[in-house]
A and B are shown apart, each in its own frame.
Chain A
């Protein structure tokens, strides 16, 4: 005696009686879960990634502005001014901006201001050298790899000492790291000038208050951006993209609705069987459990596989497809962060969104049969 002869085994047998229907149902649920979980996981992962990575960055960025836009800062003076504000622990000028390579691609030129800090990544570039991100296309030339940038005062060619690997793509995908002097030349900045100023504070909770103090401390007009704003802007930009793509879930949702309708409006033979089971001594509770086990036996593997598929698309080696879809990313997408909380939230949300209506639709006929005489059900009456 191996196999228990209970309701679960009977529910499995019910599924095996109509394997095609079960398979189609499973595929539909799996596809729906994959589609919705991919978008939601991307959003959650994006937000978690932005929070985690930008959390390692400065708490404020101070930029000098005028009526026409950005204006360079005087690096030393600006840093000194920022340090006078109570709560500021450090201030470092930054050199960066968008320039074009000889091939016409937009890249972000970054000057290494603090070689000691940069040591955690490797050796800082010397004058005439460049370290480039994984997404930067180098000049097509024989010999040492080179990169030509179209600078403010003419083109400049750099020897590329290192091309960073894909792991750094999230921060430096299109970045060209240069010696500070080279960066100033390329960006058209004077010797004492900087693009903006990065500031760190002692207490993160004081970001807003310190931002006001910083703005007041500078003589000219400045725009102070907090880390919270930077994270919020990053997430909002993605959410805008993602919500548009959610429209693509409409067909999948329609498919689920169709499944629900089919499950509720079961055929005459299904109603007859409900009546027969009742006549054979099954209670309404037994019928509900039978339907529940059957529905779970189909939908739980489908949901698990759907979630696994979404996880694979977003976090696995196959993550190029959603990246191309959402960001037109040319290759594999950057590695995003999967936090347990975000992952569980998405998994639970999607699973319940799909499972609850599906289970309700499946259980409804059994629940409705509670008030119907078995004889009426056997005749194919409404359940």
Chain B
């Protein structure tokens, strides 16, 4: 019984397993953060669109959903012209 691994095999294994788990979780977390970070570089495109077209609202909700319905939007911000809708002419 020259080594602790030999005398305490399960102790050594448990410690190794937990350390590997911690390391793996950290690697996964860092990788996902990096991927997310790199992915958000795409935001340069919508920023150019906003600047070029002088937009003051964003498309956080898709067309055709309640959140994009002019009637449901904040009146102070998104008072859009809707042909045929009340108030438009």
Residues of chain A whose beta carbon lies under 8 Å from any beta carbon of chain B: 1-5, 8-10, 12-13, 15-16, 46, 49-50, 52-54, 56-58, 61, 63, 65, 68-72, 92, 94, 96-99, 105-108, 110, 112, 114, 117-118, 120-121, 133, 135-136, 151-152, 165, 167-175, 177, 186-189, 195, 198, 223, 225, 227, 229-230, 233-234, 236-238, 241, 297, 300-302, 304-305, 307-309, 311-312, 314-317, 327-330, 334-338, 343
**B33–A168 touching, CB < 8 Å:** no
Contact check, A57 vs B54: say whether CB atoms are below 8 A apart. yes
Chain B residues with CB below 8 A from A334, complex form: 46, 59-60
Assess the B4–A5 pair: CB atoms within 8 A: yes
Cα(A315)–Cα(B16), bound, Å? 32
Nearest residue in B to A303 (C-beta to C-beta)?
B25
Q: Would you call B60 and A13 a contact (CB within 8 A)?
A: no
Would A233 and B60 count as touching, CB distance under 8 A?
no
Given contacts A12-B19, A16-B17, A172-B53, 8 further A-B contacts (CB under 8 A): A53-B46, A57-B54, A168-B49, A173-B59, A189-B81, A316-B36, A317-B35, A335-B46
CA distance A329 to B50 in the complex (A): 21
A240 to B18, CA, bound (A): 41
A2-B4, A46-B60 known; A10 and B11 CB under 8 Å? yes
Which one, A1, A177, A186, A311, contacts B3 given CB within 8 A? A1
- In the complex, 24 of the A-B residue pairs with CB atoms within 8 angstroms, ordered by the A residue number, are A16-B13, A49-B58, A54-B55, A58-B54, A63-B79, A94-B54, A98-B82, A106-B63, A110-B53, A117-B51, A117-B52, A152-B83, A170-B46, A171-B59, A173-B59, A225-B56, A233-B76, A233-B78, A311-B33, A315-B36, A316-B35, A329-B61, A337-B40, A338-B37
A54-B50, A56-B47, A338-B37 given; A198·B62 CB < 8 A: no
| Inter-chain contact A308/B29, CB cutoff 8 Å | yes
B63 nearest CB across to chain A (Å): 3
Q: Report A-chain residues with C-beta under 8 Å of the C-beta of B43.
A: 49, 52-53, 170, 335-337
Which residues of the other chain, B, contact A52 by a CB distance below 8 angstroms? 43, 47
> What A residues does B39 contact at CB under 8 A?
315-317, 335
Interface 1/0 per residue, B2-45 and A, CB below 8 Å: 01110010111111111101101110110111011101101101
A311 and B36 within 8 A (CB): yes
Could you tell me the distance in whole angstroms from the C-beta of A16 to the nearest C-beta in chain B?
Answer: 4
Contact, CB under 8 Å: A172 / B46: yes
Q: Is the CB of A56 within 8 A of B74?
A: no
Q: State whether A2 touches B87 (Cβ < 8 A).
A: no
Closest Cβ of chain B: how far from A14's Cβ, in Å?
8
Contacts of A314 in B (CB 8 A): 36
Across-interface contacts of B86 in A (CB, < 8 A): 68-69
A57: which of B51, B67, B82 is its contact (CB, 8 Å)?
A: B51
Taking a contact as CB atoms under 8 Å apart, the answer to whether A98 and B80 are in contact is: yes
CA distance in complex: A200, B39 (Å): 30
In angstroms, how far is the closest chain A Cβ from the Cβ of B74?
Answer: 4
Using Cβ atoms and an 8 Å threshold, which residues of chain A touch B10?
13, 16
Choose from B4, B21, B62 the contact partner of A135 (Cβ within 8 Å): B62
Q: Is the CB of B59 within 8 A of A223?
A: no
Chain B residue nearest to A95 (CB atoms) is: B81
Complex contact B54–A237 (CB within 8 A): no
Residues of chain A within 8 A of B79, CB atoms compared: 63, 65, 69-70, 223
Q: Are B15 and A171 in contact (CB under 8 A)?
A: no
A53 and B76 in contact, given A16-B10, A170-B58 (Cβ under 8 angstroms): no
